[in-house]
């Protein structure tokens, strides 16, 4: 057989495997339980279901402006403070950071602490402000 023909076949197989993995990634990541909500859905969760808003930014960031009634629990302290965030572990929790990048780690910590319904605010505080929603200082 021709070495180059075998090499091309291996390259095509590798490409197919990588492509399939990339196509399957969204379904795999959803199955881990990580959920997110946009600003409209977050507002409904807060108003209709009494969702607890947990702001995981640093205290200085929180002081510059946060969602109304948000509890400050910086990501570094979240594991030790998780037990006191909500009376009911089944209550919905919305995790908020500056732009949505740190929320995944917070969701994992809260899930480990026993909370079952945890959402990340898509786009974080930046998206909240862009939607023209109120911040408290």
pLDDT of residue 5: 53
Q: What is the pTM of this model?
A: 0.75
42 and 27 in a common domain: no
Helix (H, G, I), strand (E, B) or coil at 96: strand
- Asked if residue 106 and residue 45 are part of one domain, the reply reads yes
Q: Are residues 24 and 56 in the same domain?
A: no
Write the pLDDT tens digit of every residue in 52-85.
999 999 999 999 999 999 999 999 999 999 989 9
- Coil, strand or helix at 109: helix
70-92 CB burial, b ≥16 within 10 A, e <16: bbbbbbeebeeebeebbeeeeeb
If asked whether residues 62 and 5 sit together in one domain, one would say no
In a domain, 57, yes or no: yes
Q: Are residues 2 and 62 part of one domain?
A: no
Q: Are residues 24 and 63 in the same domain?
A: no
Residues 106 and 46 in one domain: yes
Least confident of 6-10, 19-23, 62-66: 19-23
Does the active-site annotation cover 97? yes
* Residues ≥6 apart with Cβ < 8 Å to 57: 66, 72, 74, 75, 96, 97, 98, 102, 125
Instruction: Indicate if 47 and 92 belong to the same structural domain.
Output: yes
Is residue 93 within 8 Å of residue 51, measured between CB atoms?
yes
Token match 């808003």: residue? 53
Q: State pLDDT tens for residues 24-35.
A: 544 444 444 579
Element (H, E) at 36: strand 35-37
pLDDT for 101 equals 84
Of the residues 70, 85, 97, 103, which is catalytic?
Answer: 97
Same domain for 16 and 40, yes or no, is no
Say whether both 26 and 38 belong to one domain: no
Dist CA 58 CA 64 (whole Å): 10
Our count of domains for the chain comes to 2
- CATH number at 52 reads 3.40.250.10
Residues 21 and 84 both lie in one domain:
no
**Domain span at 46:** 34-130
pLDDT band at 19 (very low <50, low <70, confident <90, very high): low
């Amino acid at each position: 057989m021709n070495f180059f023909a075998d090499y091309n076949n291996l390259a095509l197989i590798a490409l197919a495997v990588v492509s399939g993995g990339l196509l399957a990634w969204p379904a795999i990541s959803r199955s881990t339980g990580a959920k997110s909500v946009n600003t409209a859905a977050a507002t409904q969760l807060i108003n209709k279901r009494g969702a607890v808003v947990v702001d995981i930014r640093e205290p200085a960031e929180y002081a510059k402006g946060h969602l109304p009634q948000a509890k400050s629990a910086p990501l570094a302290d979240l594991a030790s403070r998780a037990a006191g965030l909500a009376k009911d572990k089944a209550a919905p929790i919305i995790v908020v950071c500056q732009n949505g990048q740190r929320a995944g780690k917070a969701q994992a910590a809260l899930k480990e602490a026993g909370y079952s319904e945890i959402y990340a605010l898509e786009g974080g505080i930046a998206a909240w402000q862009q939607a023209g929603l109120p911040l408290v200082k």
